[in-house]
Amino acid sequence: MGNVEKKLNDMGLKLPEKPPAAGNYVGAVQSGNLLFVSGHGPVLIENGKVNYMRGKVGKDLTIEQGQEAARLVGLHILRSIKEVIGDLDRVSKFVKVLGFVNTAPGFTDQPKVINGASDLFVALYGDAGRHARSAIGMYELPFGIPVEIEAVVEVKD
Amino acid sequence: MGNVEKKLNDMGLKLPEKPPAAGNYVGAVQSGNLLFVSGHGPVLIENGKVNYMRGKVGKDLTIEQGQEAARLVGLHILRSIKEVIGDLDRVSKFVKVLGFVNTAPGFTDQPKVINGASDLFVALYGDAGRHARSAIGMYELPFGIPVEIEAVVEVKD
Amino acid sequence: MGNVEKKLNDMGLKLPEKPPAAGNYVGAVQSGNLLFVSGHGPVLIENGKVNYMRGKVGKDLTIEQGQEAARLVGLHILRSIKEVIGDLDRVSKFVKVLGFVNTAPGFTDQPKVINGASDLFVALYGDAGRHARSAIGMYELPFGIPVEIEAVVEVKD
């Protein structure tokens, strides 16, 4: 187990189980040193059953619950990264995060919600985890999930 | 005509005519081996007249009609790629797709809609067509189009 | 002062003051020759006070006001680029722009709004400012801002 995954375990977290694909795409694709990671959602497999977190932040979910969802999404992003490059220690840098928040009317705290994932990346990678980012308020998201996040990371040779 | 375009013709499809630009931007820009492709919409030029498909998926359009729109958008993406790099056979890999679905309230099947484009890329390129992807539900899209899709592809030297 | 910034001044424009970060992220991150720039909003610091432009285009703001907001966002993007690479003349090419417009129901002129930023990049960089782009209609944006824009630019060695 690499250093990043050890740190993850020390934080009391672990990589979640992989859910079935939602469409005709893969978790991440590498080109050169850049790894483009798909939009992921907050999903847990419990007793073989796929459970999506659902709802709109600002109505069905509080900011704090949205942040929890975003942190779970961050763990799925790490899972997909590991699946493609084999070891989370091979990430040299988080480059870009794009966070989609399923938003109740008038809710404008998308940045706080997406911090749930950003804080995780920075906790694990330090300065190399500090990324460029956009956070935006969506009308609807697949399966009614509250948060979807995609990312671009740089991979060591 | 390259192999990919031959396969396209064998599928009974062809690259659509180029519509007028919707703003001050171009269809695609290359940097290194990455080609960043603009958001495209489902538009057909018939008898010199520009006809956009319009409407919200889940209300004005069914999932199947949304998929058809997404496939047409996929063809426009291929058209823009060819315009910049000259030959669709020069695409070494589809890297990333970001799909925007103009969404009726409560509609959450964005992934199925965007499959209309993803399936096309995989049919034409096989494993090299398998891409990372996000699909999200929009409040409005330009001209009232049901689907807009942008992409990143890798180009051979 | 570099050539691009001189041209900016000749246009009667200047780089705005940096606002406080809205979350746990940075303005831009470079990987290879690509600089990924965060989503920026239209914000002005006046007498030490942070003033965001707010409202939905098509209801609270006209297209022209949305374009002004987009141009101000473009200036913030340039500010963040300069902060990371030191000199705006080191940008070799604008590659990709993704423009989010906070949208009133039925408003579909997102491309015209985002032209406020695109026109600025082309005015400053000429053909090297011509970029791939998507413009989409958002349900809500952070702080109620009317426009958020992110970008990818290519940087000289």
Q: Encode pLDDT of C96-115 as tens digits.
A: 999 999 999 999 999 999 99
Identify the band that residue B9 occupies on the pLDDT scale cut at 50, 70 and 90: very high
Q: Is residue C64 part of a domain?
A: yes
**Cβ-contact B19, B45 below 8 angstroms:** yes
Chain B residues in contact with C106 (beta carbon < 8 A): 140
Chain C residues in contact with A138 (beta carbon < 8 A): 138-139
CB contact under 8 Å between A139 and B135, yes or no, is: no
Chain A residues in contact with C101 (beta carbon < 8 A): none
The predicted pLDDT at position C157 comes to: 87
Chain A residues in contact with C37 (beta carbon < 8 A): 132
Residue A27's Cβ-side half-sphere holds a number of Cα atoms within 13 Å equal to 17
Q: What is the pLDDT of residues B89-120, one digit of tens each?
A: 999 999 999 999 999 999 999 999 999 999 99
- Of C138, C139, C136, C134, the C-alpha closest to C151 is C134
On whether any CB of chain A is under 8 Å from the CB of B7, the answer is no
Instruction: Name chain C's partners: 3 or more CB pairs within 8 A.
Output: A, B
Closest chain A residue to the Cα of C144, Cα to Cα: A108
CB contact under 8 Å between A108 and C148, yes or no, is: no
Q: Is residue C100 part of a domain?
A: yes
Closest chain A residue to the Cα of C41, Cα to Cα: A134
The predicted pLDDT at position A12 comes to: 97
- Of B40, B10, B8, the C-alpha closest to B25 is B40
Cα A33 to the center of its chain, rounded Å: 20
Quote the minimal CA–CA distance from A54 to chain C in Å. Answer: 18
Q: Is residue B6 part of a domain?
A: no
Whether pLDDT at C154 is above 90? yes
Q: Which position has the higher pLDDT, C1 or A123?
A: A123
Whether pLDDT at A157 is above 90? no
Q: What is the pLDDT of residues C8-39, one digit of tens each?
A: 999 999 999 999 988 999 999 999 999 999 99
The predicted pLDDT at position C1 comes to: 82
Residues 45-74 of B with CB under 8 A from C: none
CB contact under 8 Å between A93 and C31, yes or no, is: yes
Instruction: Name chain B's partners: 3 or more CB pairs within 8 A.
Output: A, C
Which one of A110, A124, A153, A156 makes the best mutation probe of the C interface by having the most chain C beta carbons within 10 Å? A110
Q: Is residue A22 part of a domain?
A: no
Tokens of A75: 């763990």
Number of domains in chain B: 1
Q: What is the pLDDT of residues C51-100, one digit of tens each?
A: 999 999 999 999 999 999 999 999 999 999 999 999 999 999 999 999 99
Identify the band that residue A88 occupies on the pLDDT scale cut at 50, 70 and 90: very high
**pTM for this entry:** 0.98
Quote the minimal CA–CA distance from A140 to chain C in Å. Answer: 9
Question: The domain that contains A65 carries what CATH number?
Answer: 3.30.1330.40
Residues 125-154 of C with CB under 8 A from B: 130-139, 152, 154
Q: Is residue B16 part of a domain?
A: no
The predicted pLDDT at position A1 comes to: 83
What is the extent of the structural domain holding C42?
Answer: 3-11+32-155
Cβ-based neighbour number of residue B152 at 10 Å = 25
CB contact under 8 Å between C142 and A135, yes or no, is: yes
Main-chain dihedrals φ then ψ at residue A41, nearest 5 degrees = -120, 170
Interface predicted TM-score (ipTM) of this complex, two decimals = 0.97
Mapped onto helix, strand or coil, the DSSP state of residue B26 is strand
Identify the band that residue B63 occupies on the pLDDT scale cut at 50, 70 and 90: very high
Listing DSSP states for A83-125 in one string gives: HHHS-GGGEEEEEEEEEEEEB-TT---HHHHHHHHHHHHHHHH
Whether pLDDT at C122 is above 90? yes
**Token pair 């989409």: residue:** C136
Q: Is residue C23 part of a domain?
A: no
Q: Is residue C22 part of a domain?
A: no
Q: What is the mean pLDDT of chain A?
A: 97
The predicted pLDDT at position B1 comes to: 82
Mean pLDDT along residues A4-13: 97
Distance CA A98, CA A130 (A): 13
CB contact under 8 Å between A29 and B138, yes or no, is: no
Q: Is residue B5 part of a domain?
A: no
